[in-house]
Amino acid sequence: MENRTTAGAASASPSPTYGSYLRLPEILAAQTPLSDAHDEMLFIVIHQTSELWIKLCLHELGAACAAIAADNVPPALKMMSRVARIQSQLIQSWDVLATMTPADYSRMREKLGSSSGFQSHQYRLMEFVMGNKNARMIEVHEGTPDIKAMLQAGLERPGIYDLSIRLLATRGLPIPQEAIERDVTQPYAANPAVEAAWAIVYRDPERYWDLYELAEKLVDLEYRFQLWRFGHLKAIERIIGFKRGTGGTAGVPYLAAVVNQVFFPELLDVRKIL
């Protein structure tokens, strides 16, 4: 009996340490500058940590979408509030990146080759969840079938706003059938009937409190997403001015154009009629 116990203890897996649980050796070995520019480490760390924050956003938004689809709004509100706090971290990261000097960026830029943040599949998935659907954005991932399949699935899933509109219909609000059955692979277009349904919610928040809170959480997500985009625009403008971006993008003009994209138009338009 004693021998079996001793043998069992010897063969048991060791308790994880802080470093092993978080896989710190692998994470901290993942910063490999390609130039002698001092600021390249900053550039790498900002983008790597941003991808980790976006991964958490996708985790929370996926669960929020499932809760909304199941007419279980309270957990979705918690998850969306968490995403808003994560977005604050992402927004602040541009302030750190903006300390990068143009001279140091010029020393490392050629090492980036054709790589570009435009190729971030996680960012694209987040846009798809928010409803900014564009099948052409998948084409850049032709060479990575797994990622392309992931993006295609995201394109074909209803975004968080489509699910919210369907929830309004489930609750008996007057949502037209074409809004419920629309092709979710296409960008969302404003619908006056949907605006009228949200107006009912906004005019009687006590009766529709969870739907009212859901609408405001959606507005908060869009507000912070736009701040994130604007912060990106200003950081890049400060570092490279109006040069073309890496990967063939238009740089600052492209970023300026997407800042004005709207995800949930009726939730802004409804304020005009209240």
Instruction: Tell whether 83 is in a known binding site.
Output: no
More confident residue, 273 or 48: 48
Which domains can be identified in the chain, with CATH numbers? Answer: 37-272 (1.20.58.480)
**Can you give the pLDDT at residue 3?**
56
Instruction: Tell whether 232 is in a known binding site.
Output: yes
Instruction: Tell whether 68 is in a known binding site.
Output: no
Digit-coded pLDDT (tens) for 22-31: 999 999 999 9
Instruction: Tell whether 107 is in a known binding site.
Output: no
DSSP string, 155-198: HHS--HHHHHHHHHHHTT----HHHHSS-TTSPP---HHHHHHH
pTM of the model: 0.88
**Can you give the pLDDT at residue 60?**
98
Q: Which residue is it, tokens 């490392």?
A: 108
* Closest by Cα among 127, 152, 132, 153 to 61: 127
Distance CA 259, CA 233 (A): 8
Instruction: Tell whether 47 is in a known binding site.
Output: yes
8, pLDDT greater than 80: no
Backbone angles phi, psi at 188, to 5 degrees: -75, 140
**What percent of the chain is modeled with pLDDT above 70?**
89
Digit-coded pLDDT (tens) for 169-225: 999 999 999 999 999 999 999 999 999 999 999 999 999 999 999 999 999 999 999
Instruction: Tell whether 21 is in a known binding site.
Output: no
Instruction: Tell whether 46 is in a known binding site.
Output: yes
* Closest by Cα among 85, 84, 115, 124 to 247: 115
Instruction: Tell whether 44 is in a known binding site.
Output: yes
**Can you give the pLDDT at residue 101?**
85
Instruction: Tell whether 141 is in a known binding site.
Output: no
Amino acid identity for residue 191 in this structure: N
Amino acid identity for residue 150 in this structure: M
The burial class, CB within 10 Å (0-12 / 13-18 / 19+), for 17 is exposed
246, pLDDT greater than 60: no
